[in-house]
Structure 1
Amino acid sequence: MSVLDRPAGPVPPAPAGAPVPFLDLSGVHAGLRPELDAAWARVLADGRFVGGPEVDAFEAAFAAFCGARHCVGVANGTDALELVLTGLGIGPGDEVLVPANTFVASAEAVRAAGARPVFVDVRPDTLLIDPAAAAAAVTHRTAAVLAVHLFGQVVDVGELSAVASRHGLAVVEDAAQAHGGTFDGRRAGSLGHAAAFSFYPGKNLGALGDGGAVVSDDTALVDRVRRLADHGRCGRDRHRHVLAGRNSRLDALQAAVLAVKLPHLDADNARRAAVARRYRETLPGTVHPVAVHPSARSAHHLFVVRVPDRAAATGVLDRSGIGWGVHYPVPCHRQPAFRRWSRGPLPVAEDAAARILSLPLSPTTTSTQIDRVCTALGRASR
């Protein structure tokens, strides 16, 4: 029985001593190798490598998975965000509210659309966008707010939508880290006006290269995004370009790979949740996991903790052969490329950036590996 065929449940034991990978993509793919080989052979035989039936099938399946009407496959998650903003008519002269604690792509997409990012602080428990901070940052130029579902946890879009509705703003989900996550039982991708997903290989639903998607119930927006992503072509006449578009399309091979992985996503996320539970039960008292909202079911893309001394913690992990990451050590408003749009200090994001640490987490992470990580962190905090 392969790793991915095991029923979700308690994290299994594993031999001690081997390095602990931060992300075990080879283990994830091992159980899917026959299906992936068949997908490659099918695409190779068909010969349609851009668009075609593989892309159509995946778009339909992913829209249904998210609980949305439409999905458009694009080249990557950053493009997906930019295309949504452009499709909504957001551009020069507009402002978009962006949480300071996010990957820089969130801000890059706003700039690529021609708008100005306005950085706002995050909640101290979940490190997700603070609706009160967002409300305080609204001006007459504000056109949208990015609900960034970070670390796998879905933003309370209801609270954010209340702010948006008072000011006539679009709520755009940046769901690059939340494939399968939910809030109040609704999946990421079904909560805002539109959502942008990334299928970068390390995501919970990852391709074997770059890929992304736009998901929405708005038929007109999806049609516009599809045209923008395909050189602005008219759907009825591929030689007629009705918009000044670009080339941002999901290729058939990546769509076929994603279609293989999608049916396993919920089970993989359940295993990630089991890993997260084991961490919470085993971590030393000086290490504090980022909170999960009681109404959210996190996809557990990352397991992020606060540590008292990150240099000491990472040093012990390195010496113990344990992988780790930091997401993210420099808030967006402090990045050199975006400082000009900073409106001052954002203390919650800045404090978190100095102390957060991401621990190993994969569907294949074992109880023995978790125990080794927690023992190492205990030594670091003595």
Structure 2
Amino acid sequence: MGQELPADVLQHALTSAGVRPGDEVIVPSYGTSEVVQAVRRAGGLPVYVDIDPDTFCIDPAAVDVAVTSRTAAVVPVHQFGHRAEMTRITELAERRGLLLVPHAVQQSSSAETVKRQANAAFLTQRLSDVITPRVAPGTEHTFLQYVVRVPGNGRPDRDAFARTLRSKGVRCQVPVQTPVHRMPPFRRDVWLPETERAADECLSLPVEAGMTRRELQRVASACNALGGLLQPA
């Protein structure tokens, strides 16, 4: 996993790669607006595509469908510490003649990363009433965020779950409140069902490297205690 590029650096990377004003650039909507800002500053037209529901990263199949004669590039964003499916995206870019502009600078694993991964594994083994993160085979996940799905009826149940956890002293946050394609400055009339579902269901739980096993168990116990309150739709 690597360090995400700031918008101005990504803008330079896009223009250096060959993106010109009016070119379409395929990006995910699930995440921050920095990528879209960089595309716009480079003169490109952002084209939003859906995510893979397991990894929350850009879906290579959706990228393939979105390519037009005006498409110049794709930005595969690594999400929450999970790498995008770079083998398929690289093959697709080569086959369709697209520029591939990474959104991160590669870095080696650190002791902090290893500890986060261990903490994530601990939670995954103990959580019983949320859908825990899935890691694609052969792909690294550094767990910059530990993102679960809360079963139930979408955003109302997820938000109620989060409020209850916070009342018990468990730090948690909604990782993506509003997909970029629904933000007023970047709005587009597109239907991205997996993106919308993730925005309604996902919650980030703490797995920082400095957490103790006792603290992690407290998180798991608080979540599991709510399982009977929220039934799947």
Give 1:162's aligned amino acid: E
Unaligned runs of 5+ in 2: 152-156, 229-233
The aligned residue for residue 203 of structure 2 is: 357
**Structure 2 counterpart of 1:276, from 112, 115, 120:** 120
**Structure 2 counterpart of 1:98, from 27, 50, 57:** 27
Contact 1:99 1:148 (8 Å CA) reproduced: yes
1:347 aligns with 2:190: no
Q: Distance in 2 between matches of 1:122 and 1:268?
A: 28
Counterparts of 1:266-345 in structure 2, within 5 Å, are 266-284=110-128, 286-308=129-151, 309-339=157-187, 342-345=188-191
Unaligned runs of 5+ in 1: 1-64, 67-75, 181-264
Q: TM-score, normalised by structure 1?
A: 0.55
Q: Distance in 2 between matches of 1:179 and 1:346?
A: 31
Identity %: 38
Counterparts of 1:5-84 in structure 2, within 5 Å, are 77-84=6-13
Q: Distance in 2 between matches of 1:113 and 1:358?
A: 32
Q: Distance in 2 between matches of 1:94 and 1:301?
A: 32
Q: Distance in 2 between matches of 1:295 and 1:357?
A: 25
CA offsets 1:77-119 (integer angstroms, 9 cap, x no match): 2222111012123131101000121211111111111111000
Displacement of 1:179? 4.6
- Give the CA RMSD over aligned residues: 1.9
Contact 1:331 1:349 (8 Å CA) reproduced: yes
The aligned residue for residue 42 of structure 2 is: 113
Partner secondary structure for residue 358 of structure 1: strand
CA offsets 1:156-205 (integer angstroms, 9 cap, x no match): 211011211122111111127x754xxxxxxxxxxxxxxxxxxxxxxxxx
Residues 161 and 343 of structure 1: is their aligned pair in 2 closer, same or farther, counting only changes over 3 Å?
A: farther
User: Highest Rg: 1 or 2?
Assistant: 1
Contact 2:80 2:143 (8 Å CA) reproduced: yes
Q: Distance in 2 between matches of 1:322 and 1:91?
A: 47
Contact 1:97 1:117 (8 Å CA) reproduced: yes
